[in-house]
Amino acid sequence: MKVKLFILLLSGFVIATLGAINSKQEQITELEASKDKNTIGWYVQQAKLRGEREVILPAPKVEYVTEINAVDEVFSHYRIVVAEPIEDKSFVDDTHLYTWYKFRILEDLSSKKILPCPTCPLPSDVLNELLPLSSDEILVLKIGGIVFVDNIKISMIDRRFPEFAKSKKYLLFLEIDPSGQVGKLRIGPGGIFTVGDDDQLSPINNEPHPLKRFMKMSYNNALHTLREDARQRVKTQ
């Protein structure tokens, strides 16, 4: 009698398990045909159905400025700063992750100073957690980051454009928005260098870019040489 009862219970367990597996497979199949496919919400649902806790997404291809004809052009179009990231916040839209970085400006090498506009609004997607800004702070938006959605870790990583590290100082070439408080990475990773303890500048990736070539040829990737040139440009204005 006990054997029969055990067999009945075991059979019921197997049937229930197979039913759950079939139900889950049906949900996965339905999800594959969903109109929301490849959205962040879709990836979260897929991870839950598969019993996964993390989703890693590739960053989309971004078209950055790749034509720079002279160093003078760089000084006239971009704000050049040495800065360190002090805070960051990531957020999602339907299909992408973004991260706002708050930088503290340690040194401004721009030949043309850009003053903040008190009446110019900040972009609508600036996160309130990063505000207000001090006079020596600026926000920079970058695609990618890490967020948690319904306890699922979502990461979007661009191998060509690593995340900013709070332990490092950077030389940034930024296009400034009308508010004067947001720097745009129009040159992308080609316009970002880490600053070493010896003031030596290192590109953040190994891909060729005209700005990297100018920095090497004109300044030998040395911050003190760039700094001196910037001072001379200010004097001659």
Predicted confidence at residue 38, as pLDDT, reads 87
Beta-ladder partners of 42: none
Predicted confidence at residue 219, as pLDDT, reads 95
Predicted confidence at residue 102, as pLDDT, reads 98
Predicted confidence at residue 25, as pLDDT, reads 67
Distance CA 70, CA 91 (A): 36
Predicted confidence at residue 17, as pLDDT, reads 47
Predicted confidence at residue 86, as pLDDT, reads 98
Instruction: List CB contacts of 236: < 8 A, sequence separation 6 or more.
Output: none
Q: Is 233 exposed, middle or buried (0-12, 13-18, 19+ CB in 10 A)?
A: middle
Candidate CATH numbers 1.10.1740, 2.40.50, 1.10.150, 1.10.10; the one for domain 71-141+163-235? 2.40.50
Question: In degrees rounded to 5, what are phi and psi of residue 10?
Answer: -65, -40
In 3-state terms, what secondary structure has residue 23? helix
Distance CA 55, CA 145 (A): 12
Neighbours of 84 (CB within 10 A): 16
Q: What is the pTM of this model?
A: 0.84
Predicted confidence at residue 58, as pLDDT, reads 86
Give the Å distances, CA to CA, from 108 to 14, 15, 104, 185, 237: 69, 69, 11, 16, 16
Distance CA 135, CA 33 (A): 50
> Would you give per-residue pLDDT tens digits along the chain (237 residues)?
555 544 544 444 444 443 444 456 665 566 676 778 889 998 999 899 888 999 999 888 899 988 887 777 788 889 999 999 999 999 998 889 999 999 999 999 986 666 677 778 888 888 889 999 998 999 999 999 999 999 999 999 898 999 999 999 999 999 999 888 999 999 999 999 999 999 999 999 999 999 999 999 999 999 999 999 998 887 776
Predicted confidence at residue 110, as pLDDT, reads 85
